[in-house]
Amino acid sequence: SQQGEEDPQALSIQEGENATMNCSYKTSINNLQWYRQNSGRGLVHLILIRSNEREKHSGRLRVTLDTSKKSSSLLITASRAADTASYFCATNNNNDMRFGAGTRLTVKP
Amino acid sequence: DADVTQTPRNRITKTGKRIMLECSQTKGHDRMYWYRQDPGLGLRLIYYSFDVKDINKGEISDGYSVSRQAQAKFSLSLESAIPNQTALYFCATSDSQGGIAKNIQYFGAGTRLSVL
């Protein structure tokens, strides 16, 4: 069964706007990861946040983690048309990786 | 992307046929995984292997088998394909040297399988 659940399922924004995606999960974790998938391609790792971290940045990406609420968010700032893709959160609990169903992001030029 | 190679990229087969999907990697990772992706369901783990000859079932292993004869290769077999096995299949690798604190996975480009 899936561990992470992303919200929203789909998001459409204009280029230059920020995009926020949320992930909720159910069990304890060692870390939480975000992946990106272009249509029909393999997933690509974006960023990892450990269970003892609250926020992490990588370029235009900002990830937050609230273990008390069992939730995480991914913020993409100043979005570009090339950011159009599906984004998945994945929880890692002692090497048991579970992926959510993903958020489909469309960035309109 | 070429670090994890899946063959074939597309396959159409008939119900009852046996087929094999291949995965090879040049990343030198010891861990390998097979997932299937269905629309709206994300990725679900079929089998995983932490080393040569080590095989572990994932959450949806029924109807599938795997073989890990070499560190760089991990093959997935459908003994008797059925239409609900139509899906996108991904192979992934990870490096145990990262420790359980990491487990970052690297994916192949996928195999699109249709069972008629």
Mean pLDDT by 10 residues, chain A (109 residues): 76 97 93 92 94 96 97 97 96 86 94
Cβ atoms of residues B66 and B58 within 8 Å: no
* Site from B4, B105, B112, B113 to mutate, A interface, most A CB atoms within 10 angstroms: B105
A24 interfacial to chain B (CB closer than 8 Å):
no
Using only C-alpha atoms, chain A has a radius of gyration, in whole angstroms, of 13
pLDDT of residue B40: 75
* Contact assessment for residue B4 and residue B92, using Cβ atoms and an 8 Å cutoff: yes
Look at A42 and B107 and tell me if their CB atoms are within 8 Å: yes
Residue with tokens 């572990």: B56
- The two three-digit tokens of residue B59, written as one number: 């959450």
- Torsion angle defined by CA atoms of residues B57, A89, B92 and B10, in that order, rounded to the nearest 10 degrees: 100
For B26-116, strand residue ranges (E) read: 31-38, 42-49, 56-57, 64-70, 73-78, 87-94, 106-107, 111-115
A88 in reach of chain B (CB within 8 A) = yes
The answer to whether A31 and B101 are in contact (CB under 8 A) is yes
Residue B101 has pLDDT above 80, yes or no: no
**Set of chain B residues whose Cβ sits within 8 Å of the Cβ of A94:** 100
Question: How high does pLDDT run on average in chain B?
Answer: 92
Q: Which of A1, A33, A42 sits opposite B59 (nearest CB)?
A: A1
- The pLDDT assigned to A21 comes to 96
Asked whether the predicted pLDDT for residue B100 surpasses 60, the reply is no
pLDDT in tens, B71-83: 999 999 999 999 9
Q: Does A100 touch chain B (CB under 8 A)?
A: yes
Say if residue B47's pLDDT is above 60: yes
Predicted local distance difference test score (pLDDT) of residue A72 = 97
Write down the pLDDT at residue B102: 64
Q: Read off the DSSP letter of residue B79.
A: S
* The predicted structure's pLDDT at residue A93: 85
Question: What are the residues whose beta carbons fall under 8 Å from the beta carbon of A68, sequence distance 6 or more?
Answer: none
Q: Which residue of A has its CA nearest to B90?
A: A42
Measured between CB atoms, does A26 come within 8 Å of chain B? no
